[in-house]
Amino acid sequence: MIVIKNGKSFKCVFLSLLLILLSCFEQSVKADSVSDSDLHVVIVYSSETGKVTENIKLLDMLIGHFSPNMTFLPSSEIEEADLQDADVLFYYGEVVEVLPAKVGSLFDSFTKTKVALGYNVEYLGDDYDFIQFGDNVLINELVLVEGNKKNELGDRLIFQMKDLKEAEVLVKGAGNGKEYPLFIKKNELYYHASYQIDSLFSTYLGEVFHEVFKADHPEGHPAYLRLEDIHPLTDHTIMKEIADIFIEKEIPYIISVIPIYRNPETGDEYHFGDFPKLLEVLKYMQENGGRIILHGYTHQYKADETGEGFEFWDVDANMPITVPPDETPEKKQRSDFQTEDEYLAFLAKQKAFEVDYIKTKVTKGIQDLVSYGLIPYAFEAPHYTMSQSGYEILSEHFSTYIGQLQLGDRDWQIMAPAPYATSPTFLHGMNLLPETIGYVEPDNPHAIDEMMKKAEEMTVVRDGYIAGFYHPYLGVEKFKELIGRMEQIPNLQWIDLQQTSNVVQVDNITVTAEETEELSVNVEYFELLKDSPEFYNPKVKSTADNTMWLFALSAGGMVVLFVLYAVIIKIRRMRTEKGKYYG
Amino acid sequence: MVNFLFYLSLFLIWFMLVYHMFLMQGGYMHFLRYQKKADLWEKRMAYYPKVSIIIPAHNEEVVIENTIEAMIRLKYPRKRLELIIVNDNSTDNTGSIINKYARAYSFIKAIHTKPPYAGRGKSGALNSGLVAATGEYIVVYDADNQPEEDAVYYLAQALQNDQKAGAVVGKFRVLNANKNMLTSFINIETITFQWLAQAGRWFWFKLTTIPGTNFAIRRSILEELGGWDERALSEDTELSIRVYNLGYHIRFFPAAITWEQEPETFKVWWKQRTRWARGNQYVILKFLIQFFQLKNKKVYLDLFYFLFTYMLFLAGVLVSNLLFVLNLFMDLDISAGGISLVLLVLAFLLYMTEIMLALSIEKEQATFKNMLAVILMYFTYSQIWLALVVYSLYLEAKRVLLKQDVVWYKTQRYKQTS
């Protein structure tokens, strides 16, 4: 049940002033964090440039499940003070580096939980001395020791640890019929014998990190299916059939909605109001377990078709969007500028454009949906592409992000999910509900099998997400197969965005979903009329159309009546004349 | 923006059409009822009140004789009747014709106005006649009118039986309807106007506009109002509003019938209609300025009606025509689509059925020939009206801006050979 509360349009003057003052400080939209603790985690890293890399972002995502309170420091910058209130200390050696002696002594003096991953563990003080390396070994399988859960992956080299005494092996790598320790534990000391933490490594790390953080999360797999790329031209009959399947199975689900369809040839834009039958189905869906999320505004940039194009990433230049679609972006380095100030000014200009671009799109998208009575709960970027500063902008509007995350501004193709819900620092407070098993690829006959294989992998993690998406244009049959297969996965818990904490906020509209409470949609109608009168377009248009039909109906009725009157007059006159004649 | 304009014009047009449709329904109901009223009043006619007929005549030698003959044929006690013909500064034989009749009939009075008190237009002539009038009721006819024998009787009867009526308006019919296409169009137009606008408004709101001829008004009211407004181009509309302001209503009583001449050439028609349109625009202006002084709130309805007819409806039609034409040359992306086509067809059907119903009410008017004329009218006569209103708006705007004086144009008359 959706309740739309009328915004208090007329506030006292001082209240408005207070609001204006408050709005000067941009705040991110906060909802309850997915993690249940507030442990301070310090992560020291060695990377090629000393900057945060995609892999470090992956680590961020893995740890964010347990605590959002993280500090990332390059090995060259760590100071004693940084560890003062640390609860868990991480070291991640992505590249070979001779660590400063200070790092070793700091690690030595830190007596709580320590986790090391990758290279350079030999510099991490006396505690790690027990680890001795042999030649690297090739593996193609990971094994979770507890429960002997095995999954294959492509050939990977890992470090070979020799003579492990007193250490407990949590994860093993297997290859050529042999097994090698991969993730080990010695008291409060942990080590991952590879600099690789992506794909299946990430999944296995996700499980064993529960032990690192002593997080006794209950077994069970949160799951969702997302109907993808629903725009105004989507076939409403398929949507209705899918909706009824969900209803019959009592499964809540997610609908990724794009408010505008833009025809790439003509440039014409269509709204949901232009397709009332689809709109009706969408409303039916959201009243029956379907939860709408915003999936961009047009899902395109430049001349691309809606659903095909990238919206928040310039895919041609492979960089964030920094110019209007008809202009070519400038890709410049520091070396292109004489002074640092000029370079910073250049970056600031690009960033300013991007901020405005994303804010505008998101605001219009939300306003458009709400104007049709469609209530969004979260955001999913088209093709999961979003610049790092884009996530920060999004965090001012959404508390929940659905899908996978682009891990840096270097290349959009480097993206990943987390194995579980998480709140990494680069989401600035947003919770990620990851999509982990992919989608039904149109031309791949084994697509659903492959999805199920990924789902199987996710069961390694005690609370691993099993979530995928489906394009309704593929038809109802494939969908039935997919959902049927998913239902067979044991211990699945379908998530309902209505039952978790979600906040969506743009100018004059706030949507708040809370467990146990009714959805609240707060609209400042009066302010909207001033700022975004187009919000009222759907209402005005439907009123106008209804009135026109009323005109047509009454006019048609009167035309019939007038003809009837004329005939009556004629008949009466004929009768009286006859009467006269014969009378 | 284009869509907004399109919708707006569509709404302006359709508010008008819906209102007309509603009025026509009322007109039909009034037709069903008024005869019963006439029969009832006939029995109640206690005495014959003194009636003064005023006929302003300015160069009317072609028609005045027929008019006076028709007055002589009126079935109303001669002693209670007075015919005042105001020869308003005529340069032709009008004066002598009038004088001839005045000498022959004691109930006929001739008044001749000379400059500087002459040629001030119809209002001025009527005011001159009013001074000489002794009747309790004043009846006005145009100089080209030939009332039916019982017309004045019905007018007096209605005023006597309806004490709330400040004035009673009869029906006029076209004498020269079969003369040419223009007069047959005017015939159709006047019949529709009277059953739709006059009878319809009377039925629903007890509102009627004095049409300038074939009406009776209490002399006490004219005296209270100080006669006709000599500045007004359409003195009748103006007078109507003032009568309502006094708290009276104006009854439409189709039992009283007069026959009148209509313009036979386009040029004459154009000048006459321009005068009417300008007159009504003057009224809108005059009463919009003193909007809140209007005592009878129903008059707002009429003012709005005029405002709609002469400004908003006009604008609506012009904008939608413009959009239609533009749409032929460029893609305006109007989203209204199918419904607007339905409305277009319905608008035409409404036009046809309303007019045909009005014609049906009159005997021998709902003919096949007239039906063809109605269709033809839609594409010709009705469209010229657009140009006419624009032209008159221009003239009236010029008058207000340049503070020009009002020039009364007298409608040209024709000798009827029947």
**pLDDT reported for residue A538:** 78
- Together in a domain, B263 and B287: yes
Closest CA of chain B from A559, distance in Å: 6
Give A11's contacts (C-beta < 8 A, 6+ positions apart): A19
- Together in a domain, A247 and A185: no
Answer whether B343 sits within 8 Å of A551, measured CB to CB.
yes
**pLDDT reported for residue B29:** 94
Closest CA of chain A from B363, distance in Å: 9
Q: Are the C-beta atoms of A462 and A146 separated by less than 8 Å? A: no
What gap in Å lies between CA A327 and CA A305, rounded to an integer? 18
Is residue A383 in some structural domain? yes
CB contacts of B340 in chain A (<8 Å) are 548
Size of interface A-B (CB pairs under 8 A): 68
Domain boundary among B267, B295, B323: B295
Q: What is the mean pLDDT of residues B57-72?
A: 90
Closest CA of chain B from A579, distance in Å: 16
Helices (H) and strands (E) in chain A, counts: 12, 28
Q: Radius of gyration of chain A from Cα atoms?
A: 30
- Is B350 near chain A, with CB under 8 Å? yes
- Is B406 near chain A, with CB under 8 Å? no
Biggest distance spanned by C-alpha atoms of chain A? 133
What gap in Å lies between CA B176 and CA B145, rounded to an integer? 11
- Together in a domain, A200 and A254: no
Is residue A66 in some structural domain? yes
- 3-state secondary structure string, A400-441? EEEECEECCCCCCCCEECCCCCECCHHHCCCEEEECCCEECC
The sheet with strand B51-57 has its strands ordered as B108-113, B81-88, B51-57, B137-140, B215-218, B165-174, B249-260, B146-147
**pLDDT reported for residue B408:** 52
Q: What is the mean pLDDT of residues B281-307?
A: 74
Comparing A361 with A10, the larger pLDDT belongs to A361
CB contacts of B7 in chain A (<8 Å) are 544
Phi, then psi, of B226 in degrees rounded to 5:
75, 30
**pLDDT reported for residue B404:** 65
* A415-424, A527-536, B95-104: least confident range: A527-536
- Together in a domain, A188 and A326: no
Is residue A20 in some structural domain? no
Residue of B nearest to A573 (CA): B363
- Is A133 near chain B, with CB under 8 Å? no
Answer whether B336 sits within 8 Å of A559, measured CB to CB.
no
- Together in a domain, B13 and B96: no
Closest CA of chain B from A568, distance in Å: 10
Give B238's contacts (C-beta < 8 A, 6+ positions apart): B228, B229, B232, B279, B282, B283, B286
Q: What is the mean pLDDT of residues A218-244?
A: 94
Biggest distance spanned by C-alpha atoms of chain B? 74
- Together in a domain, B9 and B92: no
Residues across chain B:
418
- Is B371 near chain A, with CB under 8 Å? no
CB contacts of B347 in chain A (<8 Å) are 555
What stretches of B290-337 show up as alpha helix (H) in DSSP? 298-307, 313-329
Is residue A356 in some structural domain? yes
Q: What is the mean pLDDT of residues B156-171?
A: 91
How far apart are the two ends of chain A, measured CA to CA in Å?
Answer: 75
Closest CA of chain B from A328, distance in Å: 30
- Together in a domain, A378 and A500: yes
Interface confidence, given as ipTM, is: 0.86
- Together in a domain, A324 and A397: yes
- Together in a domain, B185 and B306: no
Answer whether A554 sits within 8 Å of B24, measured CB to CB.
no
> Token pair for residue A491?
């211990």
- Together in a domain, A252 and A139: no
Answer whether A552 sits within 8 Å of B342, measured CB to CB.
yes
Check whether A23 has a pLDDT greater than 60.
no
Buried b (16+ CB within 10 A) or exposed e, A205-234: bbbbbbbbbebeeeeebbbbbbbbbbbbbb
Mutate to test the interface with A, among B11, B354, B360, B367 (most CBs of A within 10 A): B360
Highest mean pLDDT among A34-48, A71-85, B5-19: A71-85
Is residue A2 in some structural domain? no
**pLDDT reported for residue B266:** 92
What gap in Å lies between CA B59 and CA B410, rounded to an integer? 9
- Together in a domain, B150 and B254: yes
Closest CA of chain A from B28, distance in Å: 8
For residue A87, the domain's CATH number is 3.40.50.880
**Minimal Cβ distance to A562: which of B11, B340, B357:** B357
- Is A518 near chain B, with CB under 8 Å? no
**pLDDT reported for residue A2:** 39
What gap in Å lies between CA A573 and CA A116, rounded to an integer? 107
Comparing A20 with A263, the larger pLDDT belongs to A263
Phi, then psi, of B44 in degrees rounded to 5:
-95, 0
Note down the domain range covering A569: 543-583
Name the strand (E) or helix (H) holding B149.
none
| 234-253 in chain B: CB under 8 A from chain A | none
- Together in a domain, A433 and A563: no
**Minimal Cβ distance to B346: which of A555, A569, A573:** A555
For chain A, give the percent of residues with pLDDT over 70.
93
- Could you check whether the bond before residue A232 is cis, i.e. omega within 30 degrees of 0? no
Is residue A25 in some structural domain? no
Q: Are the C-beta atoms of A94 and A36 separated by less than 8 Å? A: no
- Together in a domain, A241 and A380: yes
Residue whose C-alpha is closest to residue A77's, from A122, A56, A46, A105: A46
Check whether A319 has a pLDDT greater than 70.
yes
Residue whose C-alpha is closest to residue B16's, from B390, B305, B350: B305
Question: Phi-psi bin for A34: left (phi > 0), alpha (psi -120 to 50), beta?
Answer: alpha
- Is B339 near chain A, with CB under 8 Å? yes
**pLDDT reported for residue A26:** 46
Phi, then psi, of A188 in degrees rounded to 5:
-100, 20
For residue B274, the domain's CATH number is 3.90.550.10
Domain boundary among B277, B295, B313: B295
Q: Are the C-beta atoms of A408 and A57 separated by less than 8 Å? A: yes
Domain count within chain A: 3
Q: pLDDT confidence of A11, banded at 50, 70, 90?
A: very low
**pLDDT reported for residue B120:** 67
What gap in Å lies between CA A103 and CA A202, rounded to an integer? 26
**pLDDT reported for residue A581:** 44
Q: What is the mean pLDDT of residues A393-415?
A: 91
Domain boundary among B264, B295, B326: B295
What gap in Å lies between CA B270 and CA B262, rounded to an integer? 12
Mean pLDDT of chain A: 87
Domain boundary among A165, A180, A212: A212
Is residue B330 in some structural domain? yes
Name the strand (E) or helix (H) holding B7.
helix B2-44
Side-chain-facing half-sphere of A521: CA atoms under 13 Å: 17
- Is A555 near chain B, with CB under 8 Å? yes
Residue of A nearest to B342 (CA): A552
* A3-12, A48-57, B171-180: least confident range: A3-12
Q: Are the C-beta atoms of B168 and B159 separated by less than 8 Å? A: yes
Is residue A35 in some structural domain? no
Give B177's contacts (C-beta < 8 A, 6+ positions apart): B183, B184, B186, B187, B262
pLDDT digits (tens, 9 = 90+) for B335-393: 556 777 888 888 889 999 999 999 999 988 888 999 999 999 988 888 888 888 889 88
**pLDDT reported for residue B138:** 94
Answer whether A545 sits within 8 Å of B18, measured CB to CB.
no
Q: pLDDT confidence of B147, banded at 50, 70, 90?
A: very high
Mean pLDDT of chain B: 85
Domain boundary among A159, A183, A212: A212
Comparing B10 with A136, the larger pLDDT belongs to A136
- Together in a domain, A159 and A137: yes
Answer whether A558 sits within 8 Å of B361, measured CB to CB.
no
Is residue B160 in some structural domain? yes
Residue whose C-alpha is closest to residue A10's, from A527, A370, A534: A527
Answer whether A566 sits within 8 Å of B360, measured CB to CB.
yes
- Is B7 near chain A, with CB under 8 Å? yes
Answer whether B21 sits within 8 Å of A554, measured CB to CB.
yes
Note down the domain range covering B126: 32-295
- Together in a domain, B264 and B320: no
Domain boundary among A212, A241, A269: A212
- Is B353 near chain A, with CB under 8 Å? yes
Residue whose C-alpha is closest to residue A224's, from A402, A414, A16: A402
Residues across chain A:
583
- 3-state secondary structure string, A377-395? EEECCHHHCCCHHHHHHHH
Is residue B63 in some structural domain? yes
Is residue B268 in some structural domain? yes
Residue of A nearest to B24 (CA): A562
Q: pLDDT confidence of B81, banded at 50, 70, 90?
A: very high
**pLDDT reported for residue A34:** 67
Domain count within chain B: 2
Q: What is the mean pLDDT of residues A369-387?
A: 91
Q: Compute how many other C-beta atoms are within 10 angstroms of the C-beta atom of residue B325.
A: 9
Closest CA of chain B from A553, distance in Å: 9
What gap in Å lies between CA A309 and CA A300, rounded to an integer? 4
- Together in a domain, B117 and B146: yes
- Together in a domain, B197 and B138: yes
Q: pLDDT confidence of A431, banded at 50, 70, 90?
A: very high
Provide the β-strand partners of residue B4.
none
Q: What is the mean pLDDT of residues B135-160?
A: 92
C-alpha separations of A379 from A292, A314, A391, A397, A405 in Å: 9, 19, 10, 9, 12
Task: Give the SS3 label for residue B343.
Answer: helix
Residue whose C-alpha is closest to residue A169's, from A157, A184, A158: A184
What gap in Å lies between CA A344 and CA A17, rounded to an integer? 34
Q: What is the DSSP string of B151-180?
A: HHHHHHHHHHH-TTEEEEEEEEEETTTTSS
Q: Compute how many other C-beta atoms are within 10 angstroms of the C-beta atom of residue B397.
A: 12
For residue A225, the domain's CATH number is 3.20.20.370
Mutate to test the interface with A, among B349, B365, B368, B374 (most CBs of A within 10 A): B349
Q: What is the mean pLDDT of residues A2-22?
A: 40
- Is B340 near chain A, with CB under 8 Å? yes
* A169-183, B42-56, B110-124, B188-202: least confident range: B110-124
- Together in a domain, B327 and B372: yes
pLDDT digits (tens, 9 = 90+) for A336-357: 889 999 999 998 998 898 899 9
- Together in a domain, B242 and B385: no
- Is A561 near chain B, with CB under 8 Å? yes
- Together in a domain, A177 and A64: yes
**pLDDT reported for residue A239:** 94
- Together in a domain, A578 and A492: no
- Is A98 near chain B, with CB under 8 Å? no
- Is A15 near chain B, with CB under 8 Å? no
Check whether A31 has a pLDDT greater than 70.
no
- Together in a domain, A294 and A321: yes
- Is A533 near chain B, with CB under 8 Å? no
For chain A, give the percent of residues with pLDDT over 90.
55
**pLDDT reported for residue A5:** 40
- Together in a domain, B166 and B153: yes
Q: pLDDT confidence of B209, banded at 50, 70, 90?
A: confident
Answer whether B343 sits within 8 Å of A547, measured CB to CB.
no
- Is A554 near chain B, with CB under 8 Å? yes
Answer whether B360 sits within 8 Å of A545, measured CB to CB.
no
- Together in a domain, B379 and B233: no
Closest CA of chain B from A569, distance in Å: 7
Comparing B339 with A14, the larger pLDDT belongs to B339
Is residue A488 in some structural domain? yes
- Is B348 near chain A, with CB under 8 Å? no
CB contacts of A544 in chain B (<8 Å) are 7, 11
What gap in Å lies between CA B293 and CA B306, rounded to an integer? 18
